[in-house]
Amino acid sequence: MEQRFPAEGFFDLSASDLFGLACEQYRAFYAEQTPLNAFLVSVTLFHLLDWLVKNGTKESVREKLAAKDEAERSAEEALVLKIHSLEAFRAIVSAANNAKHHTLDGKTRPAYAKRIKSGFFAGVSRVGDRLRTEYLILDVDGEPVWLRDAFGTVLGVYREYFEGAGYR
């Protein structure tokens, strides 16, 4: 027996499968904030846009979608624009691209300083965190962006789509 698949896509994986993978990766990152876990989550969350709309990660595609009348956009196109508009998404783009590009242009592939802090912090630490929990942080335009929160924000918007009425 042999199964055949079209050239586009990756076997029979769907955007929904990738969303499920992102959820699993986020749970692993939430439990253990390591650079490797952050890489996995950021790359999956970033490239999920490409599974929703062809080349959805590209600035030129985002601009074309934004130029369309709102009523003419598909649910997937609206989601891509919504994700791109999130402040938290800037950190995800940076985290994903910093891992694979040596030169970043600062606009479509921004680079931000990175740091790891250990401890327990008011307003950041959650029930279940340990006193020595390590947090991965990007400094975006002089403001700290805690990756756990950024990932959670973007994942929440994806969740609204995949678990709500927007997904068929």
What separation in angstroms does the CA of 75 have from each of 19, 61, 148? 16, 15, 26
Output the six-digit token pair for 70. Answer: 């709102």
Query: Can you tell me the distance from the alpha carbon of 74 to that of 2, in angstroms, rounded to the nearest whole number?
Result: 35
**What is the average per-residue pLDDT within 68-94?**
92
Return the bridge partners of 3, or none: none
CA-wise closest residue to 77 among 65, 67, 69, 61: 65
* 132: Cα within 13 Å, side-chain hemisphere: 0
pTM: 0.82
Confidence of residue 142 (pLDDT cuts 50, 70, 90): confident
Contact, 138 vs 6, CB < 8 A?
Answer: no
Task: Dump pLDDT digits (tens) for 19-77.
Answer: 999 999 999 998 888 989 999 999 999 999 999 999 888 889 999 999 999 999 999 99
Give the whole-number percent of the chain exceeding pLDDT 90. 42
Q: What's the mean per-residue pLDDT of the chain?
A: 82
CA-wise closest residue to 97 among 83, 110, 84, 85: 110
Confidence of residue 129 (pLDDT cuts 50, 70, 90): low
